[in-house]
Chains A and B, each alone.
Chain A
């Protein structure tokens, strides 16, 4: 399977603080499902930020879609970012627009004709159970509803990579199951999925998923308690 993301001796430091991420070297393959686990403060969100191009590393090399993103001019970032769907831990919905418009944003950014936006957005709203709340603004939605809007927004443009930071943190178990089922479905269609989570029970829900564990900014070898260690981890 071709690699889609390659990290080589990657380190990330915020300002003059100690490195948040150190010596990360791994390869993620196209079409695979990965869980990223680790305790709070281990650097999961920082690693995801590198994946969805919200940060450049302080050192090392990252290749994404066969592009060296460390030296890539920022004018090239939009093209790559459109191929990545992101579910943020804090949802990051645009507060002034409706759930419908939030979900439609990736399509509009990608230049999808306006008459072709409605059907997929309605389908996605219905799928996440928010068909009746299309016009609601994020502030009027519950935490779980906001999370579902965030997930719908992340997947609507059929990204090549889906990155999700604690996507099931605010939803009930049934919705968590449905969301994972959606992610799994997207993965079967070829999307590479990376899910950061505390919830170890989720791991068993996706049998073919591989796992990466972060501890204090470094990739740790999987313990015997965790199944499916990432086969592509190198060094």
Chain B
């Protein structure tokens, strides 16, 4: 007979049998993974939206021309737009037409307010070329010569807090994922301890026949890894179905704002990594807790 001196792997052969009862551990892991996948999907989508928004905002600004005389205001707006288009750092400069302005302010002023012909400022939407985001003073100086009342407002100034909120939300989602992984590890440790107690007599027999702690730990690890993998798959499938339905509903709304919540394609590829990560965490947690417990035995 050929014998190895290294720590060999014992074939399971049902040595550890949990009996007819159903262990709650796989279901707990499935629920944890379901929540983890949802949190990660939300975090990654919002994170992607925040990055897109920040990139957009960094290149965009609005020029306001505050002039009571409507003719002069329109003339200055046209001149500002023309001047901007001539500048190297400007990619585009478009005057917001009166109809669009009316739509913009109507939620605050109401239909009557809009029809009253209030002298609200003319607006020019400006998109800067990449790498020219810093030259606002130069822009201001140039525009003052054609429209002394022109006020430049980078979009980042008023949409920046929203981008920050999205970024913070992403971090929160990341924290939830980390916490869920900690919860997976804790659930596995509790389960492993319970399994050790259940199989204490079998462990004693294996020890007395010469099993090493590592061999015994592997028996438990195999069980726990299989449970974690199946639970992870169940949690992932449940979460993906929910996300898919949500995406379909969002698409049917055709909302520009809610469109930001669409998951980028790469998020779908990242999500299956979470159950794999959870399985690794479960394996590690099981090994650590079992080896620690076995050390207390002779």
Spell out A's residues near B (CB within 8 Å): 52-56, 74-75, 77-82, 86, 92-97, 101, 105-114, 116, 120, 153
Contact = CB atoms under 8 A, between A and B. Distances in A.
Interface string B7-22: 0101101111100000
A97 B205 CA distance: 13
Contact of B209 (A74, A106, A113): A106
B211 A74 contact: no
Interface string B191-226: 000000000011011111111110100000000000
A79 B210 contact: yes
A106 B210 contact: yes
A77 to B, nearest CB: 7
B1 A55 contact: no
Contact of A107 (B1, B13, B295): B1
B14 A109 contact: no
A111 B6 contact: yes
The 6 closest A-B pairs by CB, nearest first: A111-B8, A82-B210, A96-B17, A111-B4, A81-B210, A78-B212
Contacts of B205: 92-94
Contacts of B6: 111
B1 A112 contact: yes
Contact of B2 (A75, A105, A112): A112
Contacts of B295: 74
Contacts of B10: 108-109
Chain B interface main SS type: loop
Contacts of B11: 108, 114
Given A75-B212, A110-B4, A111-B4, 5 more contacts: A52-B208, A96-B15, A101-B13, A110-B8, A112-B2
B241 interface: no
Contacts of A153: 209
Nearest to B9: A111
B298 interface: yes
Interface-centre pick from B1, B204, B211 (highest chain A CB count, 10 A): B1
Contact of A78 (B1, B4, B211): B211
A93 B207 CA distance: 13
Interface residues of B, number: 29
A215 B246 CA distance: 79
A56 B295 CA distance: 15
B298 A77 contact: yes
B298 A55 contact: yes
A110 B7 CA distance: 9
B3 A111 contact: yes
B202 A94 contact: yes
Interface centre among B6, B204, B211 (most CB of A within 10 A): B211
Contacts of A82: 209-210
Interface string B238-258: 000000000000000000000
B13 A97 contact: yes
A91 B205 CA distance: 10
Given A77-B298, A96-B17, A109 B4 contact: no
Interface string B172-202: 0000000000000000000000000000011
Contacts of B208: 52-54, 81, 86, 92
A112 B4 CA distance: 7
Nearest to A55: B298
Contacts of A54: 204, 208, 298
Contact of B1 (A75, A94, A109, A120): A120
